[in-house]
Amino acid sequence: MAGLAIHERDAWFLQRRLQDVLSRLLPAGHDPSDYELHASEIKSPSAQHRPAGAWSAIPIDTRLKVLAATYRCIRDFRPVDARFPATLFGAIVEGHDREARAYEEVLHKFDEMLNRRTRELGERQTGFIIHDKGAIERDVQKAAHTWRHISGRMGLLTHLADVPVFADSKASRLIQAADFVAWALWRYYGLAARDVTMIESLWPKFDAADGVMHGLIHVSPRFRSGCVCPPCASRHKALGGTEPGSAGYAP
C-alpha cells in the first residue's frame, strides 16, 4: 500500500502537471481525459486488463514514455511552500493480516508526520485521506474511526481531520499518482527479480527525519536476518546495533 501527501495549495498544480504529461505525449486526436494514469495498465494493457482498455490502442514506446514522465513528475514536483513538500508513504507487509496491517501502518506514518510538523512549525497540522474506491471502504473507515478514539497497535491517530473517504481513481490524478508509487514498490518487493527502475528515484521522497526513513516500512521476518532494502537498512542503522527484532518491525 502506498500514499502521497500533498498540501492543499499544491494539489491543483500536481494534477495539472500530470494532465500535461498526457497532453504532451498522447498521439493527436486522443483526449487525455479518457486515459487513467494506472501504471500496470499502461505497461501491459492486454495482458493484465481484459477487455483491454484505452491504453491498448497506444504504441508501446509512447506508453513507456508516459510511465517515465509520470515518475519524473512525482519525483521533481516542488511545492508552493518549501515547508510542505510532497511526501510519500508506503507499507510492504509479509505474513498474516497483510491488508489490515498495511492500512494501519500507512495511516499512522501519515499521522506521525503531521505530528512532527506540528511540533516543528508551532501550529497544528491536520490531514485528510482520499482513497481509491474499493470493496474495503467500511472496514477502513471503521478502523480509522476506532484508532482516532482508542489506541491501537501503534497508538492513536491524533491529526486526521476525519475518517478516510473514497473516490473513483478515474476522477483523480492524485489518486493515480499514489497508484504509481504503489506499483513501483510492488516492482521492487513483489517480483522474484527486483526491478529498481521505477522506485529508485522515489526513495528520497518518502517521509524521513534525522536520517531515518519513517514513511516506508517493510514488515518482514527477514528484518531480523538483516534485510538491506532502504527502509530496513535505515532502521538497522537507527537501532545502533541492537537486536533488530526488538524494534517490533517483524510480524
DSSP string covering 74-132: HHH---SSTTS--EEEEEEE-SSSHHHHHHHHHHHHHHHHHHHHHHHHTS---B--EEE
pLDDT digits (tens, 9 = 90+) for 189-229: 999 999 999 999 999 999 999 888 999 999 988 766 778 89
Whole-angstrom Cα distance, residue 143 to residue 138?
A: 8
Q: How much is the pTM?
A: 0.87
Q: Is the pLDDT of residue 141 over 90?
A: no
Which residues share a beta bridge with 131? 166
Q: What is the pLDDT of residue 235?
A: 84
